Amino acid sequence: EPEVTQTPSHQVTQMGQEVILRCVPISNHLYFYWYRQILGQKVEFLVSFYNNEISEKSEIFDDQFSVERPDGSNFTLKIRSTKLEDSAMYFCASSVNRGPYEQYFGPGTRLTVT
C-alpha cells in the first residue's frame, strides 16, 4: 500500500540554524500539508499546498517557514532560523486532490532545537 514517507526521522539542530524537512507524498496525490505537534500538545495545521502554491496557512506559519515542491516527488518544509519553540514533531500529509478526499499522514520528523 502506498504511503507518505518523511526524512529524517529525527533532526537535531542548533538555534538559529536552517533546517529542511523532507516528505515524499503518495505519487498520484496533488494536495500536500504540513502539521506540527509540540510534545504533549495537539496536532496543529501549518500549511496546505496545491498546484505549486500555498492554499492556506495558519498563524503559526510565519515568515520563518516556507514550503516547496522542488521536483516531482519531494515536498519540503524549511525553517529559516530555528528557535527553541520550533522543537516538535512535524507531520506531512497528502491527499488525492482538494475536496472530500482522505489525508494520509507520514510517520513524522522529530525536530529538536538546542
Partner 1 sequence: GNSVTQMEGPVTLSEEAFLTINCTYTATGYPSLFWYVQYPGEGLQLLLKATKADDKGSNKGFEATYRKETTSFHLEKGSVQVSDSAVYFCALKSITGGYQKVTFGTGTKLQVIP
**In the complex, which residues of this chain contact partner 1 (CB under 8 A)?**
6, 31, 33, 35, 41-45, 48, 50, 55-56, 91, 93, 95, 98-108
Query: Which CB atom, from 78 or from 98, has the smaller least distance to partner 1?
Result: 98
CB of 16 to partner 1, least distance (A): 28
CB of 85 to partner 1, least distance (A): 18
State the pairing for strand pair 43-50/31-37: antiparallel
Query: Which CB atom, from 42 or from 85, has the smaller least distance to partner 1?
Result: 42
Q: How far out from the chain centre does Cα 92 lie?
A: 4
Q: Residue 109's closest CA among 20, 14, 3?
A: 20
Query: Which CB atom, from 33 or from 75, has the smaller least distance to partner 1?
Result: 33
* Contact residues for 56 (Cβ-Cβ < 8 A; gap 6+): 47, 48
Query: Which CB atom, from 11 or from 44, has the smaller least distance to partner 1?
Result: 44
Query: Which amino acid is present at 102?
Result: E
CB of 42 to partner 1, least distance (A): 4
Residue 33 CA to residue 95 CA, distance in Å, equals 9
Is the four-CA dihedral 96, 98, 102, 103 of positive or negative sign? positive
CB of 13 to partner 1, least distance (A): 20
